[in-house]
Structure 1
Amino acid sequence: MTRLGIPILPHIINALILTAAFSAGNSYVYCASRSLYGLALEGKAPRFFVKCTNKGVPIYCVTFVLLIALLAFLQVSQGTAVVLSWFVSLITASQLVNYCVVCCTYVCFYRALKAQGISRDSLPYKAYLQPYAAYYALGATFIFALIGGYTVFLPGNWDVPSFLFSYTSVAAFPILYLGWKVLHKTKIYPPNKVDLKQDLEEVEEYTRNYIPQPPRNGFSKWFNILFS
């Protein structure tokens, strides 16, 4: 755009990119802090994370999540492109592990439904191509999580930071999972013993009594139409 001699458009693009980045960061800080809060409520994270302000904000969770942003200062001693590639590797591996677990969870859920004679037609939503889509996604995400940083194993390409950012999430998951199982002596239930109706009454009651809030103004109305 600069070579084409368009003076204002590059600034507009920069503003849009910054807005999108801030929006994504705001969203993920919210999701990550509330996930950490939920883990603390279940006893799967340190108890002090349940501390909230008078308005219900889990202050310690938000602070901890925001501290992760300090990793951005790595670019002070390293090239920006290098640090960006580290973050991309870390986030990609984490997302692949996350979706791998989601697919595995669905396969277990599907097996439990089948073992207990519960038809998927009775569910509020039934996805197509299941369970084959879940098997395909599980295999794909598992393979890509393992080979995501394969280049560091090529001759002459070994780099400790790149290896750590590519495989820390992959290695941390089984350690945390097995560590929790051993320490808390939890067990894996067979499909016919899985409780598929836990908290179902509360969810159905909430659904029956839910009253949607009307939009505050015209902007909220159109925003809800577009994004909800």
Structure 2
Amino acid sequence: MTAMCGMISWTGILWTSIRWNKGLKAQGIDRKTLPYMAPLQPYLSYYGISMCIMVIIFGGFGSFMPTFDASSFVTTYFPIPFFAVLFFGYKFWTKPMVVDYADMDFVTGSSSDVIEKETTQNLWQKISDRI
């Protein structure tokens, strides 16, 4: 069950990474201008998602062999519908909009934004921000 939850989490992380790369491309921001550029991205994210999905699908395959083991099946695959209920329940309850690639904010909190903010603050504001 823990491994399945981990795979679902990594799928979400990788999906976010792919959307982030598409947002950079849509806004014309070159990845080479970033402080760190992960190699082979976004292709490794696509590969990672496909591997996570394969583990999610086939992770509990042992519960089918040699005979069907219901308890093993339930403990292995329970996180999938549980995640779906939580995810779609959140979407239904809060009705969040998916942010368009062109509207993604890549400026707020960036190093240039932090440097600009630090030069205009006095010592006590800097200390309170650090805390």
Normalising by structure 1, we get a TM-score of 0.47
1:161-176 equivalences in 2 (<5 Å): 162-176=72-86
* Residues 121-144 of structure 1: per-residue CA shift (max 9 Å, x gap): 121110001111110001111111
Correspondence for 2:35: 124
Amino acid at match of 2:95: K
TM-fit CA distance, 1:201: 6.7
* Residues 127-170 of structure 1: per-residue CA shift (max 9 Å, x gap): 0011111100011111111210122234622222x122211222
Relative contact order: is structure 1 or structure 2 higher (C-alpha 8 Å, sep ≥ 6)? 2
Correspondence for 2:102: 192
Amino acid at match of 2:43: Y
Structure-2 change in CA distance of 1:139 and 1:186 (3 Å): same
Larger Rg: 1
* Distance in 2, Cα, partners of 1:153 & 1:131: 35
* Distance in 2, Cα, partners of 1:132 & 1:192: 21
Amino acid at match of 1:138: I
Amino acid at match of 1:157: F
Structure-2 change in CA distance of 1:124 and 1:202 (3 Å): closer
Runs (5+) with no aligned partner, structure 2: 119-125
* Distance in 1, Cα, partners of 2:23 & 2:85: 26
Q: Which aligned runs of 4 or more in structure 1 are off by greater than 3 angstroms?
A: 198-203
Q: Secondary structure, in 3 states, of the residue corresponding to 1:195?
A: coil
* Residues 43-72 of structure 1: per-residue CA shift (max 9 Å, x gap): xxxxxxxxxxxxxxxxxxxxxxxxxxxxxx
Kept in 1, the 8 Å contact 2:31–2:37? The answer is yes
Q: Indicate whether 1:137 and 2:40 are aligned.
A: no
RMSD after superposition:
2.4
Amino acid at match of 2:100: P
TM-fit CA distance, 1:187: 1.3
Identity level (%): 26
Kept in 2, the 8 Å contact 1:148–1:166? The answer is yes
Alignment partner for residue 157 of structure 1, among 68, 76, 98?
Answer: 68
* Distance in 2, Cα, partners of 1:189 & 1:178: 17
Kept in 2, the 8 Å contact 1:146–1:170? The answer is no
TM-fit CA distance, 1:96: 1.0
* Distance in 2, Cα, partners of 1:125 & 1:145: 30
